């Protein structure tokens, strides 16, 4: 996938994953891979988490981990919930517009 396009989409998907339940970075990466984002790595997700936190869209708490160092668990702030709703509405509108563009292209004469 195009990295620039992916970056914006990943932010919305990360917000949705966190909205579904408090989680930590590595678990977010694993969920994204399960959904089909095979090339997404921790090196991609962690900077996005930092930016989302800096923009006050996430809350975090540090907890002990049974498997090693402490983990930062993320949840959505009220601003994050509003941003997720905005992202999803924008996605629906954009998806519809792109679908129209591509559907219109199928039936038209390619020589024009």
pLDDT digits (tens, 9 = 90+) for 43-87: 999 999 999 999 999 999 999 988 889 999 999 999 999 999 999
Cα 51 to the center of its chain, rounded Å: 12
pLDDT of residue 11: 95
**Is the pLDDT at 95 greater than 80, yes or no?**
yes
- The CATH architecture to which 3-107 belongs is Orthogonal Bundle (1.10)
Grade residue 6 by pLDDT with cuts at 50, 70 and 90: confident
Structure tokens at 72: 């930062």
Ordered by start, the domain boundaries in the chain are 3-107
pLDDT of residue 110: 47
Residues paired with 62 in a beta bridge: 72
Grade residue 106 by pLDDT with cuts at 50, 70 and 90: low
**Is the pLDDT at 4 greater than 80, yes or no?**
no
């Amino acid at each position: 996938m195009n990295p620039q396009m992916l970056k914006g989409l990943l932010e919305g998907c990360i917000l949705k994953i966190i909205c579904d339940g408090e989680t930590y970075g590595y678990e977010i990466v694993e969920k994204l891979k399960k959904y089909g984002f095979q090339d997404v790595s921790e090196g991609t997700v962690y900077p996005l988490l930092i930016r989302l936190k800096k923009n006050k869209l996430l809350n975090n708490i540090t907890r002990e981990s049974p498997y090693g160092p402490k983990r930062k668990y993320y949840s959505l702030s009220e601003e994050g919930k509003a941003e997720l709703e905005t992202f999803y509405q924008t996605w629906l509108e954009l998806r519809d517009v792109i679908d129209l563009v591509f559907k219109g292209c199928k039936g038209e004469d390619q020589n024009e």
